[in-house]
Structure 1
Amino acid sequence: MFDRDREWDALVRFATDEQPGATLGVVSGRRRQGKSFLLEALCQEAGGFYFSAQEATKAESLSLIGEALTRHLDLVAPFTPTDWPAVIDVLLRIGRERPVPVVIDEFPYLVQASPALPSMLQAAYAPRRAERVESRARLLLCGSAMSFMGGLLSGNAPLRGRAALDLPVATFDFRLAARFWGLSDPRLALLVHAVVGGTPAYRTEMIRGDTPEDLEDFDAWVVRAVLSPGSPIFLEARYLLAEEPDLRDGALYHSVLSAIAEGNSGRGGIASFVGRKSNELSHPLTVLEDAGLIARELDAFRGNRTDFRITEPLLTFYHAIMRPFWPQLLRAVNTERIWQRARQRFIANVVGPHFERICREWTLYFAEDRFGDWPSQVTAGTLNDPANRTSHEVDVVAVGHVDGAKAPLLAIGEVKWGEVMGAGHLERLRRIRDLVARGDKYDTRGTHLVCYSAAGFTEELMRERERGEVVLVGPGDLYGG
């Protein structure tokens, strides 16, 4: 187990809770994050019951769980249930003697065939029902369909208010991913993360531990490990959409993701790329957001503007690099040449935006009080410059907690992947700070100016840092060096 201590501790506390009465928990997260590994280990350690559902009819699913319960309980006669309430009562009886974990993995498959199952669980977990009161079964429902799992406990859903645990198992952040992949070079770690993100199984199961040895090996690694049709990860980005039951119009959702991967982050740009009216995209954007595949971010300076970004790096890589060359990649025709042709596109459309995202994540989660206080939010923004009849895009805008009339603007920053940053970048940030100071939204008296660069800084800019005029952040800083 690698760095899942928080999740493991939460599961153990839930499963070993001595209080009377059966309890219910939900474990969610995208596929290949290690959920099943955690839950199987929990049942093994605590003598619990683990069942992984399959895509099957109601009758077959009942038969399969009946067989699993027969084996687990060592019954003389086989348990052959004909409905789910009978199964639920047997699951509750498992916890008659002591607290014990009872896991149903891939729960959405069961609901797909039996839509009333959540309501049946609600009835079984009625507060004064004897079967619940007399049991200490710790039932855990697990699933990878994020849109479904997200709605399981929300709004007017039957199980709302019934769960004692709601545990998301997230992908590794960029620092943990570097440790997991065994990458000590920050630039190489950033490049690898821009391709495969922080999903643990991509390394252990799909690429089987194949890691680029150094920066010189990165190109060859992309060709052999990601762009090869023989690699299990080759089709993974397409499967990520297929696994979500609410994403029925695959062509539309792929087009929306392609639009974002091409740099169209606003609703209007996405609509133009897809060929739909802006108001027709509300549903597909909401569905992709509920599935955890995209996230919306408010513009720091324009409260009525929303930008969208893809949350899974492999999806961005697929839509920006693989999808345009899909017929050739399927036949493994000149893969090395395709990658060389696409490499500049990779830097501009994938690595550049990804580096900006990593810099914002670092500012929010790892900079701590480096800028005078903990940020309450870090996003990007676009600021008008009426005097010069232009606008400025600001890559990093860190806002502190509001204590007065205005929110403190802790820092504004510019991000460059392949460009050595100099005094001109600092002057631009000063201009932006002056423009913000004229408005009534942010307090700029303590605003830090920050330059983030993976290529380095000029000597002049480093002298400005010594005078306290600018904060310089490189790849080593991002990874805690």
Structure 2
Amino acid sequence: MSPFDVSRPAKPETVFDRDAEWDALVAFACDARPGAGLGIVSGRLRQGKTHLLKALTAALGGFCFGAQQAARAESLHRLGDELARYTGEAPPGRPSRWEDAVDALLALGERGRPVPVVIDEFPDLVRQSPELPSVLHSAYRRLRETGRENRIRLLLSGSSLTVMHRLFGAAAPLHGLADLELALRPLDFRQAARFWGIDDPRLALSVHAVVGGTPAYRRYTADDTPGGRDDFDAWVCRTVLDPRTPLYLEPRHLLQEETDHGDRALCHSALAAIASGCSTQGEIAECLGTPLTDASHCLALLRANGLLYDEPDAFRPNLVRLRIAEPLLAFEHAAVRPLRSALEQQDAVEVWRRARPVFDSAVAGPHFARICRDWVLDFAGRDVFGALPASAAHGSLSDPEQRAGPDVEADVVVRGRADARPGPVLSVGLARWDEVMDLRHLEDVRRLLALLAARDEDVTRARPACYSGVGFTPALRAAEADGQVVLVDPARLYRGDRPDGDGEDARRRR
């Protein structure tokens, strides 16, 4: 054992979940091998990066510097003062250049043992000091070329995904120096239910459709959680619709911070178009009444900041739909934004009474289908679909018998693994948030399978599936017992079918 080996601390009780992330950070910070280490931690705002990194440095006696939006001189002065307090040594003078500040930081790694050093919100420093990444790169290169004994474990964290990608992407100089690249994502729907202390699966789904898996949002409600299904409407009114709570303006703040200095008005309108049902770039541009090039630029900005994601159609790989990644933004732009002026003049209860039907149809319904797709990838057992799923997506088909009619749509299309082509269809399913499903829905799924077979898709192993937020008729349950259909309700989404290890692997892939 190396004389510099450090015992690995257990995760503090103040850190909820994040077991895999904690283990990765501790393994990096406690690595006793000689040589300076560099780690990158990224993730959207409000996901708990700062809390996690402060817990790490506290547990291991490391140093954490939280950057702010400030002029270069102020940041350098703050860093020098905080380093002096950390080391307990009188500073030789405040650093006036980043070269001096970086040398002072790296000197912390020359004390023998590995020491974690965190610069949180690193992009805020780079905006005022564009030379900083090059300074770091040069310092690390000198250390590695001279073979100096140094065990600093420097962690650079940031919420601005566009800046982090530019600084640490595959073509960036610092990318090649990184020993750890960790992305902190929102809690999944099961983790979020435990975090909010909600045992009722349908209530958990409703809350998740509003606040998603962002940990900070519970603090934004002052730990106010709904007392039951009957309390959900009142909870919405006293939290996200109450101007006195941080959640009230969070969608506006989130977009302002995440989109940097882009065209925020166009971004809001684009999100509203997507929340209303537009899903392709052409549909969104037409809804906005703007040229496709302008819409594409706006959408690319939202994608780069993790607020939108692409979902290829399960049956038409060249058709890509845009989805809102943050549930609070979907909730805001579909149900609340059209009534903002009324909300500022009327009682929230009355406004929510008008918005609730929109929430059920345009927010909770699509969100439920998305959670069902997540369940397929993260929690469904290996035997549910006959093979391990590789993808779960929305799919649409034209019906030759209804040439002028709308496409026939499937909410959860499961495909298996394949090399360079779409995998075999393992399942086709419909998701209904507020509808008891019966044999009629099973027949609709079988109709979809027949359409696929007519297009030469191999559906011989495909299992029909029905996903309902409120349940199934006895006749459909009997069909399930006969092996004719896979049925998934909220209780199964939250409590069943998780195979050991598969869920974690799937989340890492996504």
Shifted more, 188-197 versus 449-458: the winner is: 449-458
- Could you say which residue in structure 2 is the equivalent of 1:342? 355
Q: Displacement, 1:23? A: 1.0
Cα 1:99–1:256 change in 2 (3 A) is same
Q: Displacement, 1:275? A: 1.4
**Aligned positions of 1:124-139 closer than 5 A:** 124-126=139-141, 129=144, 133-139=148-154
In 2, Cα distance between equivalents of 1:55 and 1:403: 46
Given the alignment of the two structures, is residue 66 of structure 1 paired with residue 80 of structure 2, yes or no? yes
Task: Read off the aligned partner of 2:368 and give its amino acid letter.
Answer: F
Given the alignment of the two structures, is residue 398 of structure 1 paired with residue 398 of structure 2, yes or no? no
In 2, Cα distance between equivalents of 1:209 and 1:18: 40
CA shift digits 1:234-278 (9 cap, x unpaired) = 111111111125452110111111111111112222111211122
- Could you say which residue in structure 1 is the equivalent of 2:65? 51
- Could you say which residue in structure 1 is the equivalent of 2:452? 436
In 1, Cα distance between equivalents of 2:233 and 2:144: 61
In 1, Cα distance between equivalents of 2:93 and 2:375: 53
In 1, Cα distance between equivalents of 2:147 and 2:234: 57
Q: Equivalent of 1:413, from 429, 437, 443?
A: 429
Cα 1:432–1:174 change in 2 (3 A) is same
In 2, Cα distance between equivalents of 1:106 and 1:262: 34
Given the alignment of the two structures, is residue 361 of structure 1 paired with residue 377 of structure 2, yes or no? no
Given the alignment of the two structures, is residue 224 of structure 1 paired with residue 238 of structure 2, yes or no? yes
In 2, Cα distance between equivalents of 1:167 and 1:403: 27
Given the alignment of the two structures, is residue 100 of structure 1 paired with residue 107 of structure 2, yes or no? no
In 2, Cα distance between equivalents of 1:175 and 1:405: 32
- Could you say which residue in structure 1 is the equivalent of 2:308? 294
Contact kept? 2:369, 2:411, Cα under 8 Å: yes
CA shift digits 1:194-215 (9 cap, x unpaired) = 0011111211x21121111011
Q: Displacement, 1:439? A: 2.5
- Could you say which residue in structure 1 is the equivalent of 2:479? 464
Q: Equivalent of 1:351, from 358, 364, 372?
A: 364
Contact kept? 1:107, 1:141, Cα under 8 Å: yes
In 2, Cα distance between equivalents of 1:46 and 1:263: 49
With the length of structure 2 as denominator, give the TM-score of the two structures.
0.90
Unaligned runs of 5+ in 2: 1-14, 497-510
Contact kept? 1:406, 1:443, Cα under 8 Å: no
Q: Equivalent of 2:33, from 13, 16, 19?
A: 19
- Could you say which residue in structure 1 is the equivalent of 2:5? none
- Could you say which residue in structure 2 is the equivalent of 1:473? 488
Q: Equivalent of 2:43, from 21, 29, 52?
A: 29
Shifted more, 333-342 versus 282-291: the winner is: 282-291
CA shift digits 1:277-336 (9 cap, x unpaired) = 2243222212211111010111111122110110111011111122112233345x2211
Q: Displacement, 1:122? A: 1.3
Q: Displacement, 1:79? A: 3.4
In 1, Cα distance between equivalents of 2:419 and 2:460: 14
In 2, Cα distance between equivalents of 1:291 and 1:433: 37
Shifted more, 12-21 versus 125-134: the winner is: 125-134
In 2, Cα distance between equivalents of 1:226 and 1:466: 42
In 1, Cα distance between equivalents of 2:128 and 2:420: 54
Contact kept? 2:394, 2:412, Cα under 8 Å: yes
- Of all paired residues, the percent bearing the same amino acid is 51
DSSP 3-state at the match of 2:93: coil
DSSP 3-state at the match of 1:95: helix
- Could you say which residue in structure 1 is the equivalent of 2:210? 195
Cα 1:404–1:22 change in 2 (3 A) is closer
Contact kept? 1:26, 1:165, Cα under 8 Å: yes
Which runs of structure 1 show a deviation greater than 4 angstroms over 4 or more consecutive aligned residues? 127-132, 403-406
**Aligned positions of 1:104-123 closer than 5 A:** 104-123=119-138
**Aligned positions of 1:69-88 closer than 5 A:** 69-88=83-102
Q: Equivalent of 1:315, from 317, 329, 332?
A: 329
Task: Read off the aligned partner of 1:425 and give its amino acid letter.
Answer: H
Q: How many residues align?
A: 478
- RMSD over aligned Cα atoms: 1.7
Unaligned runs of 5+ in 1: none
Task: Read off the aligned partner of 1:309 and give its amino acid letter.
Answer: R
Q: Displacement, 1:127? A: 6.2
Q: Equivalent of 2:394, from 380, 388, 410?
A: 380
Q: Displacement, 1:170? A: 1.1
- Could you say which residue in structure 1 is the equivalent of 2:502? none
With the length of structure 1 as denominator, give the TM-score of the two structures.
0.96
Q: Displacement, 1:386? A: 1.3
Q: Displacement, 1:143? A: 1.1
Contact kept? 1:66, 1:78, Cα under 8 Å: no
In 2, Cα distance between equivalents of 1:246 and 1:305: 29
- Could you say which residue in structure 2 is the equivalent of 1:6? 20
Q: Displacement, 1:128? A: 5.4
Q: Displacement, 1:190? A: 0.5
